[in-house]
Structure 1
Amino acid sequence: MHITAASSNRRTNQSSTPPRRPAALLSAALLCSLLAGCAAPQRPARSLADNEIQRVMRREQVQGLALATIEDGKVGKVRVFGQRNAALGQPLTDETVLYGAALTKTAFAYMVLQLADEGKLDLDAPLNRLLPKPLPYYHERPFDYADLADDPRWKSITPRMLLMHGAGFANFRWLEDDERLRIHFEPGSRYAHSSEGYQLLQMILEQVLGLDVDFEMQRRVFDRFGMRRTAMRWRPGFADNAAEGYAFDGSVQPHERRYRVRAAASMDTTVADQARLWAGMMRGDGLSPAGREAMVKAWLPVASRRQFPTFDAARADWPQGLAAGLGVLTFRQGASTAWYVAGHDEWSANLALCVEQGRRCVVMLSNDVRAERLFPELARLALGDVALPWAWEYQWAEQP
């Protein structure tokens, strides 16, 4: 299936920020609605049949999409559509290596919860007790915290706060006007998505506990679930079947080879491997019942109107109880609980969404950021009318 890219997008300033259609396109769409002769809006998918998924992919000009379902904690169907390299006509397969983006955080959090189960890490220990020296004394890249020397609030930050994005850091320090790390609010008082927090937790594991995060992720998560083509850093063996990335304007980006382990977002993976991982997490394999319960517990309510910008002052009251879990976001789904994680960079998109009732999940990965516009309708077809606040997660979605 060859799809011609024709739309465009303004480059966003943070890799986790959802893509937005340019103002010019929005204005054109409004003008079109006022004039006769405009084509009617294309309809959403009516089922998860292959031809329906391919149709909506053409609608959004998505090059490749991988989708897996989980039923009763077991992998159901794994399906792939489109191409990993449109120019060469190379198809996407269930073994194609895709960028894991924010899914990395969930896998890392699952490993951290194992350490907590074993008593190796106290999730509620403040940094002034956990660290052998003050945090600002750690000032060697990539773990440089000298910027916090004049802010004693670092002392109260705990690993649990870092896992639930509650430490008060920006998503990335380079998004600050002066590119310096700072704490924006009292740690633990509110949610603000922060890759910096996960990098700090990686530093604690490596430099304080003496662990090799790459090794621990491999043996505790990837090997446990049989994830043969997943790793925290690039492997030469991935090159034979790695996906090119496609931006909103259709431009192509070769698959980035990330050689540094980053707990926030360095994982390469496949849809087959992610299906095994999310099925295993749904079952709680490798965790105590208390650890599994803690992962999806609503620890920190979300009160922002949007996920991004991170410190947007606009407030909202989410009736489904949107909150931060540990490595996931959680919300009420009727009488049950649901949890998810979504992420992208400018050339890829992914979403994993689970409902505790029936132990059901849908996992979607794409090498094309435009696939995000398919996720709400495909998720509903897979799991029913889920209460995920799409407008909070994606800026282009309509607010309720």
Structure 2
Amino acid sequence: MHDDPAGMIGRRTFLGAASACVALAALRPLPLRAADPAQYDHPWIPSDAFLADLPEWMRAFGVPGLGMAVVEDGEVAWHRAFGIADMANGTAVDADSVFECASLSKPVFAYLALQLVDAGLLQLDRPLVRYCRPDYLAKDDPRLERITVRDVLRHSSGLPNWRGHPDREPLRTIAEPGQGVNYSGEAFYWLQLAAEAVTGESLDQLARSRLFEPAGMHASTYAWNAHVARHSVFGEPAPGTTPTVQTFHRQWSLLQPIAEAQGKPLREWTWEDGVRMLPRARAAAPEGMFTWPGDLLANSAASLRGPVQDYARFIAHVMSRGSRQHWEIAEATRQAMLAPQMPLRAGWLDKGLGWNLESIDENTRWFFHGGANAGRYKTFTVGDPQRRRGLVVMTNGGGGTGVYQRVVRAAIGRDLLAFDL
């Protein structure tokens, strides 16, 4: 159920792909096997023998560079870089390399949304229209009124992943909210605007003050800055595929001079700034690059970028902790985040709040998420919250799925059902 099936989302392929698991929820559950407490109780750092072979797998799948990090006992314990960050100049991937996290953006934003729930600024079961009613919503779709914050976070909003033509196509539901899984970046973007409405902050301002700085994710951003421009990896398409535009790279470089002229950094741009700056952005860019205000802004569903160890620091805060810091979500909220909210395959796979959940045995459930941007960036993370360990893998190659699956299998000692759906 990773975000990698090909050809699912049309124009918005750079924003990650949709889940293919909706119909599986109706399958009859089979009993899980009895738990073996020792079977998976080992560190997730890959062996030296596997790491020695990893460059060969990267070459086979056409993946120039890769970063991975491991969490043990709720702390970042290990990280490693492999390969090339930019094929044009031969720059190596290193500890400072900034990857596109792709749809791994969503669990981070879900955490931010749950922080706002804990603060009383959002309510999980309150309709989104009570917080924000964008003018791009369809006027003749009463189901939009029933979409809640919870629906967004568990992908039961009934909204499509992305509209093909957001400049002229209203956002409308394709299914009844709350009744099943429809993987939707549009829903996350709408919730982003709701968060902006209740806080008065842009997405990146919110993330920096409430998560990135306190969690030590200093090199992460949903937007763009000088450090990111200097250290970003450049993605390569999978062998034999047609290259697509590296949209975020090109968009941000064109918007940066506009932001500087306005005296307002891109990380601070809100929806109103996007509306105001759209004509100027269109005039400075190739036709079709900027079609609606959302193309100018940070995107909660897809535009997070940072070094792999920053993301590992984030998933460490999804684990149980002896004492939680004041900025972290409450323990009850954390447990709700990792509790089944909507079935994908009954008894085996579920949606949590921002996470996918896979049952490993009758007493163990792991969280995971994958991502894909522009056919050039493939990412994956998985965590065992009971044993407080996790793994993050980020690549800058369109063939990265085959590589990260091998990394995960070698590190955790088992396959994931998610890889076959």
* TM-score category, normalised to shorter length: 0.7 to 0.9
Tell me: CA distance 1:252–1:153, structure 2 relative to 1, closer, same or farther (3 Å).
closer
**Distance in 2 between residues matched to 1:209 and 1:252, nearest whole Å:** 36
Partner AA of 2:414 in structure 1: D
| Other-structure match for 1:23 | none
1:161 and 2:151 matched: yes
**Distance in 1 between residues matched to 2:9 and 2:49, nearest whole Å:** 31
Q: Percent identity?
A: 29
Q: What is the aligned counterpart of 1:198 among 188, 207, 215?
A: 188
**Distance in 2 between residues matched to 1:332 and 1:47, nearest whole Å:** 29
SS of equivalent residue, structure 1 residue 102: helix
**Distance in 2 between residues matched to 1:293 and 1:68, nearest whole Å:** 24
1:232 and 2:204 matched: no
**Distance in 2 between residues matched to 1:273 and 1:349, nearest whole Å:** 17
Partner AA of 1:278 in structure 2: I
Q: Which has the higher contact order (CA 8 A, sep 6+)?
A: 2
Partner AA of 1:353 in structure 2: V
Superposition deviation, residue 104 in structure 1: 1.1
Partner AA of 2:116 in structure 1: L
Alignment of 1:132-151 (within 5 A): 135=133, 138-139=134-135, 144-145=136-137, 147=138, 149-151=139-141
| Other-structure match for 1:105 | 106
| Other-structure match for 2:388 | 359
**Distance in 1 between residues matched to 2:336 and 2:7, nearest whole Å:** 39
> Is contact 1:69-1:382 (8 Å) kept?
no
> Is contact 2:9-2:162 (8 Å) kept?
no
Which blocks of at least 5 consecutive residues in structure 2 are unaligned? 1-5, 19-45, 253-265, 267-296
Partner AA of 1:67 in structure 2: M
| Other-structure match for 2:54 | 53
> Is contact 1:298-1:331 (8 Å) kept?
no
Tell me: CA distance 1:11–1:359, structure 2 relative to 1, closer, same or farther (3 Å).
closer
Query: Can you list the C-alpha shifts for 1:78-113, whole angstroms capped at 9, x where unaligned?
Result: 011000012322100121111121111111110111
Query: Can you list the C-alpha shifts for 1:171-210, whole angstroms capped at 9, x where unaligned?
Result: 001179x844221111010001100000110111222453
Given the two structures, how large is their TM-score scaled by the length of structure 2?
0.73
Partner AA of 1:233 in structure 2: A
**Distance in 2 between residues matched to 1:12 and 1:89, nearest whole Å:** 32
Q: What is the aligned counterpart of 1:268 among 305, 322, 325?
A: 305
> Is contact 1:320-1:333 (8 Å) kept?
no
Partner AA of 2:360 in structure 1: Q
| Other-structure match for 1:39 | none
Q: Which deviates the most, 178-187 or 94-103?
A: 178-187
**Distance in 1 between residues matched to 2:419 and 2:341, nearest whole Å:** 20
Partner AA of 2:180 in structure 1: R
| Other-structure match for 1:82 | 83
| Other-structure match for 1:68 | 69
Count of residues in correspondence between the two structures: 331
| Other-structure match for 2:360 | 333
Tell me: CA distance 1:73–1:342, structure 2 relative to 1, closer, same or farther (3 Å).
same
| Other-structure match for 1:220 | 210
Superposition deviation, residue 75 in structure 1: 1.0
Alignment of 1:220-299 (within 5 A): 220-249=210-239, 255-256=249-250, 258=252, 259=266, 260-283=297-320, 285=324, 286-299=328-341
Partner AA of 2:389 in structure 1: R
**Distance in 1 between residues matched to 2:64 and 2:204, nearest whole Å:** 31
Which blocks of at least 5 consecutive residues in structure 1 are unaligned? 1-8, 19-44, 303-317, 393-400
> Is contact 1:64-1:81 (8 Å) kept?
yes
Partner AA of 2:310 in structure 1: D
Superposition deviation, residue 49 in structure 1: 3.5
Partner AA of 1:331 in structure 2: E
> Is contact 2:67-2:79 (8 Å) kept?
yes
Aligned-residue Cα RMSD (Å) equals: 2.5
SS of equivalent residue, structure 2 residue 76: strand
| Other-structure match for 1:377 | 406
Q: Which deviates the most, 220-229 or 275-284?
A: 275-284
**Distance in 2 between residues matched to 1:272 and 1:370, nearest whole Å:** 22
Superposition deviation, residue 282 in structure 1: 2.1
SS of equivalent residue, structure 1 residue 364: strand
> Is contact 2:8-2:17 (8 Å) kept?
no
> Is contact 1:164-1:300 (8 Å) kept?
yes
Partner AA of 1:181 in structure 2: L
Query: Can you list the C-alpha shifts for 1:151-184, whole angstroms capped at 9, x where unaligned?
Result: 11122111010111111111001179x8442211
Superposition deviation, residue 126 in structure 1: 2.4
